[in-house]
Amino acid sequence: MAKISTKEEMMKTDAFGIGALNTGFAQYFINDSFLKPLTGQGEFPVFNVTFEPGCRNNWHIHHATTGGGQILLCTYGEGWYQEEGKEPVSLVPGTVICIPANVKHWHGAKKDSWFSHVTFEPPGENTSNEWCEPVSDEVYYAL
């Protein structure tokens, strides 16, 4: 799939749609992201998260004593995923990322493409999210 350079193109062709501006978590993102719930907010919430070009979330950790973590199902455009201490992974539609609990990581769009992924957190015990420092421009733009 080619990079998606405009919001209009994204809105016309993304199967899930981009949802609303993600104001509730904006402090943990560089640039704009959009959030669309795909299920209710009950026991197993699933979201479509859309990132504008250059948007990425801060480093963060999904804590759990058992279970937990996060799963990303990449659906549209191109993005990046990186775990602390590891090389970044290029994300394209069809990429599945299984993030174990207690692993520091970040994810977001490439600098020249819109990007969407469906995300959910597997059930676990004593789960919580910890938001950490932003991904620096130096690190991000070197990708």
Residue 126, Cβ density class (10 Å: 0-12 exposed, 13-18 middle, ≥19 buried): exposed
- Separation between Cα atoms, residue 143 and residue 139, nearest integer Å: 7
Block means of pLDDT (10 residues each) for the chain, length 143 residues? 75 84 96 94 88 97 97 96 97 97 98 96 94 96 93
How far from 112 is each of 79, 108, 135, CA to CA, in Å? 9, 11, 17
Q: What is the pLDDT of residue 65?
A: 97
Q: Domains of the chain, with CATH numbers?
A: 7-141 (2.60.120.10)
Q: Say which residue the tokens 């016309």 belong to.
A: 12
Q: What is the pTM of this model?
A: 0.92
Q: Say which residue the tokens 């990581």 belong to.
A: 105
